[in-house]
Amino acid sequence: MWRFLVPAGILVALIAFFFVGLFRDPSYVPSPLINRPAPEFQLPQLQAPSAVLGSADLRRGEPVLLNVWATWCVGCREEHAKLVSIAEQGLIPIYGLNWKDDRDAALHWLERLGDPYVATAVDADGRVAIDWGVYGAPETFLLDGDGTVRYKHIGPLDTQTWEREFMPRIRALRDGRT
Amino acid sequence: MRALWLLLPILVLLATEAGAIDARDPFDDPDKQARYERLIREVRCLVCQNESIADSNAPLAADLRREIRSQMRDGVSDDEILDFLITRYGDFVVYRPPLGPHTILLWAAPLLLLAIGGFAFVRVIRARAGGTLDDELPPDSRPEDGVLGDTQDAKGSGQQ
């Protein structure tokens, strides 16, 4: 009896593993930054290169988003309208990190498609992006009021992700502080 | 002469292989350059996950190679460089992740599978030798006990 049950059990377990694996995204790598302080940085701003945007500016006592984008990134184009609409509704302040991009192209992009960012930092050589563990734009980080990373989304931000993943967390962070 | 022509495509292939690693800005010290080349083969490119950053042409891989070179110039050790990457990108960024609660199954799997396979192997061999599984018989009536004992004795005396 066991001679058949044991191999059959192993087979069922294997099939279960493979089946779950079918629906997991291998390009998604969980960030070790979650629940850790946001990496420090000091970078020139896109619109005003002489002004600095740093990690201290992200600690505002309220949740903020940091969105990593570039004009060469297709997914960024895809999510841009969503970011603009979030900014227009005043749901949360959004900061930009312009990653390895051409400054003129980036300025032109914001002019043409709208600028959802409170301010955008320019990471021309990608050094700061390494500290943030960025490996594929667009990436969106949710920081709490103390500047701790609470959530990271990799890939274009759509309405479904926003409603499911971001809004509940943002509400919880705000409730926790009052 | 013909053999030399046959070598040509191989040489061309080798050339592209060598070109994938940044040819510019190498270390003057060949030992250090070798250390660098070994290190970048340990690091996974997260953009194209089945390539190391030594093989990948992705911009991120180039950034990470540059970062590793600059840290090596500052005298940072290999372990510290790998730790630097792991704290930013997670265990997945290195091909040999550190042992931890997340990776214990990964590291233990080969031994575990070997043990399961060995157990099954022994059971099957015993069942075939005796025509039945030994636990279905009382211990003293195992037909293979005597046979195994004999061969072990013979082996032992042969070695001495």
- On the question of pLDDT at B133 being above 60, the answer is no
Do the beta carbons of residue A162 and residue A79 sit within 8 Å? no
pLDDT tens track for B34-92: 999 999 999 999 888 788 999 888 889 999 999 999 999 999 999 999 999 999 999 98
B87 CA: distance to closest CA in chain A (Å): 6
Residue A118 lies in a domain: yes
Residues of chain A contacting B88 with CB distance shorter than 8 Å = 32-33, 39, 130-133
ipTM: 0.82
pLDDT in tens, A26-71: 778 888 899 999 999 999 999 999 999 999 999 999 999 999 999 9
The reply to whether the predicted model has a pTM over 0.90 is no
B47/A136 CB distance under 8 A: yes
Nearest to B59 among A39, A100, A133 (CB): A100
Residues of chain B with CATH 1.10.8.640: 19-93
In this structure, is residue A27 part of a structural domain?
no
Q: What is the distance between the alpha carbons of residues B123 and B40, in angstroms, rounded to a whole number? A: 45
Q: Per CB distance under 8 Å, which residues of A are interface residues toward B?
A: 26-27, 29-33, 39, 100, 125-127, 129-133, 135-136
Pick the closest to residue A39 from A11, A24, A59, A23 (CA basis). Answer: A59
Q: Is residue A2 domain-resident?
A: no
Q: What is the pLDDT of residue B22?
A: 59
Residues in chain A closer than 8 A to B59 (CB atoms): 100, 126
Tally of CB atoms within 10 A around A18:
9
Q: What is the pLDDT of residue A154?
A: 92
In sequence order, what are the residues at sequence separation of 6 or more whose Cβ sits closer than 8 angstroms to the Cβ of residue A129? A68, A97, A99, A100, A123, B63
**CB spacing of B90 vs A32 below 8 angstroms:** yes
The mean predicted confidence, pLDDT, of chain B is: 78
d(CA A37, CA A39): 6
CA distance A27 to chain B (A): 8
Q: Of B59, B63, B88, which has the smallest distance from its Cβ to A133's Cβ?
A: B88
pLDDT tens profile A80-125? 999 999 999 999 999 999 999 999 999 999 999 999 999 999 999 9
Residue A120 located in a structural domain: yes
CATH of the domain at A41: 3.40.30.10
pLDDT for position B159:
43
Total domains in chain A come to 1
Confidence of residue B155 (pLDDT cuts 50, 70, 90): very low
pLDDT score for B103: 87
Specify whether the backbone of B13 is left (phi greater than 0), alpha (psi in -120 to 50) or beta: alpha
Range of the domain at A45: 35-177
Q: Which chain A residue's Cα is nearest to B49?
A: A27
Determine what percent of chain B is predicted with pLDDT higher than 70. 66
Share of chain A above pLDDT 70, in %: 99
pLDDT for the residue B148: 52
For residues A14 and A8, give the distance between their C-alpha atoms in angstroms, rounded to a whole number.
Answer: 10
Between B101 and A100, the higher pLDDT residue: A100
**Minimum mean pLDDT among A101-115, A129-143, B21-35: which range?**
B21-35
CATH superfamily of B19-93: Cytochrome C biogenesis protein (1.10.8.640)
**Percentage of residues of chain A with pLDDT beyond 90:** 83
- Please list every residue in chain A whose beta carbon sits closer than 8 Å to the beta carbon of residue B64: 130
* pLDDT confidence bin for B154, thresholds 50/70/90: very low
- Residue A19 placed within a domain: no
Decide if A165 is inside a domain: yes
Does residue A106 sit within a domain? Answer: yes
Instruction: Count CB pairs under 8 A between chains A and B.
Output: 42
Q: What is the pLDDT of residue B157?
A: 45
Residue B145: pLDDT above 70?
no
pLDDT of the residue at B42: 92
pLDDT over 90 (residue B6): no
